[in-house]
Amino acid sequence: MPSPAMFFNLLLDALSRQEQVRVPEPEMVMHDDANTEAFMLAGREDGILAHTYLYHAIQASAVIAPGDRVLDLGCGPANQLALIAQLNPDAHFIGVDASDSMLALAQETLIRCKVSNVELRKASIDALGEWGNASVDAVVSTMTLHHLPDIAMLEAVMREVRRVLKPDGGVYMADLGRMKRQAGQVAFANDRKAVQPEVFTQDFYNSVRAAFSLAEMKNASSILGPTVSIKRTFLVPFLLVVRSAHEQPISAACKDAAKRIYATFSSRQRRDFFDLTMAFRHGGYPLAFKP
């Protein structure tokens, strides 16, 4: 369960009639070595974000079929991408990122995790000219969209996703949702301050402020067509998922891989995974399967 202070802030946010103005990130922070390193460590198997990465890997697997060609937009250091690829070894993944430092870390991650069904490409996610119309089976993205400078760029990304995606292709794009109160944003960013690097806490606060609102994300994702909807966390939409309707069967191998990863989690990581699962479940988005 969230801490009492965090729950209180979520409740205040749910009741608030305020609407925080979006504050784009002050710079392309993921080009900075310190921020890049902090983000990479947070997402490793023993990092504070490991439970979120397993959650998204499980949920994304429900839109990926064996043999699919899948684009991961803004793959970063590939902690998330490596996990999704491990759960779906019969699919082929292409990690796309505009940052050289992130792509270098991504290559290290793929080697460390012994993942062989992923290739990496440098590109801006709003200009996917390397990929033709209707050339990929699925598109995934996690915690990338809030880095975009404005709504126009968000809409450009959605148009590119629609262009490269095959008809009835899979979509799983997860990101932060903008909270209504600045005090709530501060509390959310600092909730794990004691166990994360200071540079990560500051960057997370910048990310929370730069998140798009539920309404903004709904409007932009409508570009993808009527089969795509928004999933959200209960009470306050602090996390959002743009999700295609079509469900792919989950293989036994995928479930077994998730179970092996979950078995390595500490008790704290398991509690965090449960809390995240419940936040989405009570918002109407159940987990595809239990690890």
> Any idea what the CATH number is for the domain that residue 191 is in?
3.40.50.150
Q: Kindly report the pTM of this predicted structure.
A: 0.93
pLDDT at residue number 30: 47
* Domain-located, residue 58: yes
- Bridge-partner residues for 119, per DSSP? 94
Residue 251 domain-assigned (yes or no): yes
For residue 161, tell me if it sits in a domain.
yes
Tally the domains of the chain: 1
**In-domain check, residue 290:** no
Ranges under pLDDT 50 in the chain? 28-31, 43
Q: φ and ψ at 17, to 5 degrees?
A: -105, 5
Query: To the nearest whole percent, how much of the chain has pLDDT over 90?
Result: 80
- Any domain includes 286: no
284 — alpha (psi -120 to 50), left (phi > 0) or beta? left
Report pLDDT for 20: 92
pLDDT value for 44:
54
Full residue range of the structural domain in which residue 111 is found: 4-281
Residue 32 placed within a domain: yes
Q: What is the pLDDT of residues 132-185, one digit of tens each?
A: 999 999 999 999 999 999 999 999 999 999 999 999 999 999 999 999 999 999
**Inside any domain, residue 44:** yes
Classify residue 35: in a domain, yes or no: yes
pLDDT in tens, 8-35: 888 999 999 988 999 999 864 444 555 5
What pLDDT does 252 receive? 96
